Amino acid sequence: MEDKRSLLLFAQRIISLKDENLKSEYVGYLEQLDREGKIVYVSIAEEYYTKKGIEKGIEEGRLEVARNLLARGVSLDIIAESAGLSPEKIRELMS
């Protein structure tokens, strides 16, 4: 049982299940382990990479806003203030 649990936790971190039946079975097994008190942690790596992913998404959103404003001819200062980016970063986008 412990080997199966370890394997499933590893798989959860590495892949995203696409097959709905398999995903449902997997989620059910994780819920069973949780009810039995065998899953009681969120790994430091999961927290770290989740935070990094969120930060990357926010940065990509800011860059997209800046590109859209540049395309509309908005001034560099207004773009920097609106997108929360430095004027230097905006200049990089312009080149």
- How high is the pLDDT of residue 29? 78
Q: d(Cα 28, Cα 9) in Å, to the nearest integer? A: 13
Q: pLDDT tens digits for 30-71?
A: 778 777 776 655 566 667 777 888 888 899 999 999 999 999
Which letter does DSSP use for residue 84 in this model? T
Q: Domain span at residue 12?
A: 2-35
Residue 31 shares a structural domain with residue 48? no
Tell me the average pLDDT of the chain.
Answer: 79
- Overall pTM > 0.95: no
Q: d(Cα 44, Cα 59) in Å, to the nearest integer? A: 23
Count up the domains in the chain and report the number.
2
Residue 49 shares a structural domain with residue 29? no
Residues 6 or more apart whose Cβ sits within 8 Å of residue 7: none
Q: Is the pLDDT of residue 81 over 80?
A: yes
